[in-house]
Amino acid sequence: MRRPVVAGNWKMNPTSLREAIELARTVDAAAPDPDAVTTVICPPAIWLAEVERAVSRVEVGAQTMHFADAGAFTGETSPSMLSGLAGFVILGHSERRQYDGETDEGVGRKVVSAVAHGLRPIAAVGERADERSAGTTAAVVDRQVRAALGGLERLGGTGLVIAYEPVWAIGTGDAATAADAQEVCAQIRAILADLDPAAAPEIPIQYGGSVTADNAAELFAEVDIDGALVGGASLKPEAIAAILRAAAESAARE
């Protein structure tokens, strides 16, 4: 049985350490049994150390990283620097692709580096609105998943998580329907089976993109959706608590 993974991507929030610690402690208190649901919070890098010390039940993740251990990369954070501070790292988020020029090839290099350093990569994939309108969702997702994972010798034992985040749904309030999300997540599962048949059933696939307390249970009821990568709702204590409860209830039905 796959354990659901619910990860809160705080993005460039909150703006003070005090608020970050308060939010982290609130989520920590609301988190389900870690044996049932893996709860992850991903604060800005500047708050990682303090947030990691403030929690006991939840995991901490970074929002990105460089693939190199060290070097002349101004403003970047290496996987070695994340050691002991983060257990997870989001890689290939659409905002990084859009605003920071991340490429499929670059995401693949980061995934390999994360695994090599004992970090669990949350590899994000998803189509833009124009790609969806053009009917190329399947092709885009296939390309991104294979590029992200192509450098790994195997998938089993890597701690890999895939996050399907349709770009048109992120922050818009226009989430994919559960059926549409399931269709793409099933496609991702098939790609994983092509790459590593034995490991494919073990790898959690999250949905992300306007996940709320209202739609979480319906999404989690789908066979290939194993949790969520949550944006705005992860900053709202009541909303993220409800999403975590929905994940725990879904896990209990398995």
Q: Angle of helix 17-30 relative to helix 237-253, nearest 10 degrees? A: 30
Is position 93 annotated as part of the catalytic site? Answer: yes
Catalytic residue among 59, 93, 127, 222: 93
**Which of 37, 120, 123 is CA-nearest to residue 83?**
120
Catalytic residue among 52, 102, 127, 165: 165
Integer Cα distance of 169 and 119 in angstroms: 27
- Which residue numbers are catalytic? 93, 165
